[in-house]
């Protein structure tokens, strides 16, 4: 499955991460790591700080304090552009798809191929043909079925939109993929597809972080679970060593303390 060379090496380590919004301490001294070829669940009640943590890692928010290491080297991620250039791709809860653009344009947004040499690159002359054929290949590889690549996103169903957003992250996320509730709005079959997609990312050696409220998904696909409560990390456990009830107990605060 995972290649021995990269598996279990830390792709991303954060420590001492804190972020507050005015009086609200959204994240309080959080430390965690993501490993290559592993899927880590990020759990917690609403408002526990999960999305804030993802946004700090993906450069949307800048944390008040804390250190981030990527492949062992300390890195600042001041913007989403920097995060993406470091191989960190994110599927936000809102999906961040652009409705009036078509599927190809969304897959390649801010990663466009240009044609016409250096002048074309400077002007940003889009190489639509190349992007269309690569899109077909990306979606085919991930087994994502979209009726037409020229459809604008607003014409697609919720599941298809989600699939495009995940496909984009999978296509560009060479190292680290962060998924904020990627299957929240999906039907049973589509949700299963997403889980397959996560497994194939893992098998390709990508470090995956998965935010979800669904404990079945945690036990099905995740190796580790990190639990946040009121901005603090209260558990960091091997999924194999706990039950779903244990996880729920961490989330609700009935149990604390097991940081493995």
Binding mask 35-64 for another protein (x = CB under 8 A): -----------------------xxx----
Nearer to another protein by Cβ, of 126 and 204: the residue is 126
Q: Are 95 and 194 in contact (CB under 8 A)?
A: no
Applying the rule CB under 8 A, the residues between 146 and 165 that interact with another protein are: 147-152, 154-155
Phi first, then psi: give them for residue 125, nearest 5 degrees: -75, 115
User: Which is closer to another protein, CB of 99 or CB of 203?
Assistant: 99
Q: Assess 179 for contact with another protein (CB under 8 A).
A: no
Does 109 sit near another protein (CB under 8 A)? yes
Least spacing, CB of residue 206 vs another protein, in Å: 19
Comparison of 112 and 223: residue with beta carbon closer to another protein: 112
If the CB atoms of residues 98 and 259 are measured against another protein, the closer one turns out to be 98
Residue 137 near another protein by CB under 8 A: no
Distance CA 183, CA 47 (A): 19
Residue 61 — φ and ψ, nearest 5°?
A: -105, 150
Q: If you ran DSSP here, which 8-state letter would residue 238 be given?
A: E
DSSP for residue 191:
H
CB count within 10 Å of CB 84 equals 19
Of 125 and 186, the one with the shorter C-beta distance to another protein is 125
d(CA 200, CA 51): 24
Q: In the complex, what is the shortest distance from the CB of residue 214 to another protein, in angstroms, rounded to a whole number?
A: 24
Smallest gap from residue 149 Cβ to another protein (A): 7
Task: Write down the least CB distance from residue 220 to another protein, Å.
Answer: 28
The closest of 91, 109, 104 to 194, measured between CA atoms, is: 91
Nearest approach in angstroms of CB 19 to another protein is: 17
Compose the 66-95 pattern: x for residues touching another protein by CB under 8 A, - for all others: -------------xxxxxxx----x-x-xx
Distances (CA, A) of 215 to 149, 195, 251, 253, 254: 34, 13, 11, 16, 16
Sequence-distant (≥ 6) Cβ neighbours of residue 129 within 8 angstroms:
none
Q: At which residue do the structure tokens 């014409």 appear?
A: 155
Tell whether the torsion through CA atoms of 85, 11, 24 and 226 is positive or negative.
positive
For residues 193-222, which are near another protein according to CB under 8 A?
none
Q: Which residues bind another protein (CB under 8 A)?
A: 58-60, 79-85, 90, 92, 94-101, 105, 109-110, 112, 114, 123-126, 128, 147-152, 154-155
């Amino acid at each position: 499955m995972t290649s021995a060379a990269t598996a279990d090496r830390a792709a991303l380590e954060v420590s001492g991460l804190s972020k507050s919004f005015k009086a609200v301490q959204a994240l309080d001294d959080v430390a965690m790591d993501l490993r290559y070829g592993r899927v880590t669940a990020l759990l917690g009640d609403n408002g526990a700080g999960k999305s804030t943590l993802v946004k700090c890692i993906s450069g949307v928010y800048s944390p008040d304090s804390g250190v981030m290491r990527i492949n062992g080297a300390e890195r600042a991620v001041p913007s989403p552009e920097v995060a993406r250039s470091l191989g960190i791709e994110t599927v936000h809860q809102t999906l961040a798809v652009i409705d009036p653009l078509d599927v190809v344009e969304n897959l390649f947004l801010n990663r466009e191929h240009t044609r016409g040499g250096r002048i074309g690159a400077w002007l940003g002359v889009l190489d639509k043909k190349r992007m269309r054929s690569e899109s077909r290949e990306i979606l085919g590889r991930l087994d994502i079925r979209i009726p037409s690549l020229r459809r604008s996103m607003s014409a697609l169903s919720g599941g298809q939109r989600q699939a495009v957003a995940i496909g984009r992250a999978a296509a560009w996320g060479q190292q680290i993929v962060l998924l904020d509730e990627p299957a929240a709005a999906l039907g049973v079959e589509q949700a299963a597809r997403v889980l397959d997609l996560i497994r194939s990312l893992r098998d390709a050696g990508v470090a995956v972080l998965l935010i979800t409220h669904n404990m079945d998904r945690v036990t099905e696909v995740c190796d580790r679970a990190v639990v946040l409560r009121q901005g603090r990390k209260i558990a960091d456990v091997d999924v194999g060593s706990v039950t779903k009830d244990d996880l729920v107990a961490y989330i609700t605060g009935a149990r604390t303390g097991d940081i493995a």
